[in-house]
Each structure stands twice: as C-alpha cells, then as structure tokens.
Amino acid sequence: MRKHGPDLQKAVPAIQRCRQCRGQGFTKGVFFELDCAACDGTGWLGADGAPVEPAALIRALGRRLDKAEQQLVDRAKASAWAEDNNRRGAGGSHFTGD
C-alpha cells in the first residue's frame, strides 16, 4: 500500500459491451445512424454501466488485445510442439503411433 506519490500502475477499469447498441457504438434511426447515447458512441461501458473516459478505455482495450495475442502465441507453441518430429520411429523418423 503506497502512502505517498502516484500509483505504480494505472488502474484498468472493468469494461463491458453496451447493451443498447450491442457494442456497435450507434443506433439505427429512421433515416440514418445516431451515436449511442448510453456509451457516447464507443460501444463500451464500465462495469457500473456508465460511459468510460477515452484514456481509460484505450488502456483497457490495449490490455485485452495483449492478452488475446498472448493466447494466440501460446496456442501456436502448443501446436508446433505436437507437430514436431519426435524421433521415436524407425531410423529416427516421426512415430505416429500406428
């Protein structure tokens, strides 16, 4: 617990998709599209249902993107390991288990 100075890490707000515009950021009018009034046209709301300020929204979406990219890298590593030559077959070839 820090007693003086700014926090060491910026707080990332919990976000959720806007229910009124379904995360699109706009609603359909009769003749044209209008910015969603609930989320200020961003498509995202805070956990309490209030619009999130742009700087905090960018921070939260950036963290989500980093997490998703890391999951893709982890999956690629797992599949590369499974397809790698295990050298257990005859003459050091790939053993498939058949």
Q: How far apart are CA 88 and CA 94, in angstroms?
A: 6
Rounded average pLDDT over 93-97 = 78
Q: How far apart are CA 41 and CA 65, in angstroms?
A: 20
Q: Are strands 15-17 and 44-46 parallel, antiparallel or unpaired?
A: antiparallel
The pLDDT tens digits of the residues spanning 40-94 come to 999 999 999 999 999 999 999 999 999 999 999 999 888 777 777 677 878 877 7
Name the pLDDT band for 1 (thresholds 50, 70, 90). low
Residues 44-72 as b or e (16 or more Cβ within 10 Å = b):
bbbeeeebbeeebbebbeeeeeeeeeeee
The pLDDT tens digits of the residues spanning 22-37 come to 999 999 988 999 999 9
